[in-house]
Amino acid sequence: MHMEKSMTQFRSFTIRPAHRTTAFTLVELLVVIGIIALLIGILMPALTRAREAANQVACASNMRQWATSLVAYSTDNKGWLPMFGETYALDGPEPTLWWNTLAPYLGKQPTNAGGYYPSQAANLESMSKIRGCPSDPEHTFVGPHYGGFAYASGVLYGPIVWGRYNATDPVVGVRITRIKQSGSLIVFAETTNPYYQIYSPSNWVFNSDADGDGILDTYSYYLGWNNYNGGKPKIHHGSSNVGFCDGHVESLPFNTWVTDMNYWTIKQ
């Protein structure tokens, strides 16, 4: 009896292990949140750079389609480049505007709803997937290196020109056979509104500094409302894509874009 009573008492005082709680303490939770925030801070810049690199590649692909279509057009037309437009018509239908001329080479239908300004808007909408830059799809588009009116002085300031100002003027365009070193002459660039074209710095010479970095980068008339003569030379981390007369595409750093006039000058 005494033995059984002692065993009963022993069993009644047996120490059982306490149940451990599985919840995080406040300190542990703060540590985890801090680690996650640190990882996000490390990874986000890399992800942003990767996304921008992908956008630049996609933009270059769009630019290449336009440059290739220009070469194909010139091959089919005895070396003539497409004109900005055959006649300087801003308010009426103008099927000869450059994007209408190249549309069939891109598998698109010409946009002939109106003249330069109406067609520009319609064209951007219908061709945005192959003309827009993925980094800024609403404001940046492939645009031509515009040289003005070729017949005015006989000097070619850019590869894409108006054929004539008045209906009675002779139609004058640019023939690729007149261009030496076509592989170094820009024909398309990334452009912004309001006109989505580059006014050739060989004609509209850079004489003003739009961004205050000490580099002349804009013709004074366009300063403040159409900087860089209508271009977007910094859109891809300080560079931009350009297409050349021989059909190839490159990425040019901003400093090269604004200072090396070999890219903007037709050598005859």
Which pLDDT does position 153 carry in this prediction?
61
Residue 214 burial by Cβ neighbours in a 10 Å radius (0-12, 13-18, 19+): exposed
Q: Which helix (H) or strand (E) holds 242?
A: strand 239-244
Q: Which tens digit of pLDDT belongs to each residue from 151-167? A: 656 678 899 988 887 77
Which pLDDT does position 188 carry in this prediction?
97
Give 154 or 256, the one with higher predicted confidence: 256
Question: Could you tell me the pLDDT band of residue 42, with boundaries at 50, 70 and 90?
Answer: confident
Which pLDDT does position 200 carry in this prediction?
96
C-alpha span between 243 and 188 (Å, rounded): 5
Q: Which residues contact 232 (CB under 8 A, 6 or more apart)?
A: 133, 136, 140, 189, 190, 191, 192, 240
Average pLDDT over residues 37-49: 76
Residue 88 token pair: 């300087």
C-alpha span between 179 and 66 (Å, rounded): 19
Q: Which tens digit of pLDDT belongs to each residue from 234-249? A: 999 999 999 999 999 9
Of 101, 97, 81, give the one whose Cα is nearest residue 89. Answer: 97
- 109 has a pLDDT exceeding 90: no
C-alpha span between 32 and 72 (Å, rounded): 59
- Give the start-end residues of each E strand in 49-177: 140-149, 160-162
Which pLDDT does position 128 carry in this prediction?
83
Residues of the chain above pLDDT 90, percent = 48
- pTM of the complete model: 0.81
First to last CA, the chain: 123
Highest mean pLDDT out of 49-53, 193-197, 248-252: 248-252
DSSP string for residues in 107-139 = T-----SSSHHHHHHHHHHHTHHHHB-TTSTTT
Which pLDDT does position 12 carry in this prediction?
54
Residue 144 one-letter amino acid: P
Average pLDDT of the chain to the nearest whole number = 84
Which pLDDT does position 92 carry in this prediction?
56
Residue 247 token pair: 């059909």
Least confident of 10-24, 42-56, 192-206: 10-24
Which pLDDT does position 129 carry in this prediction?
86
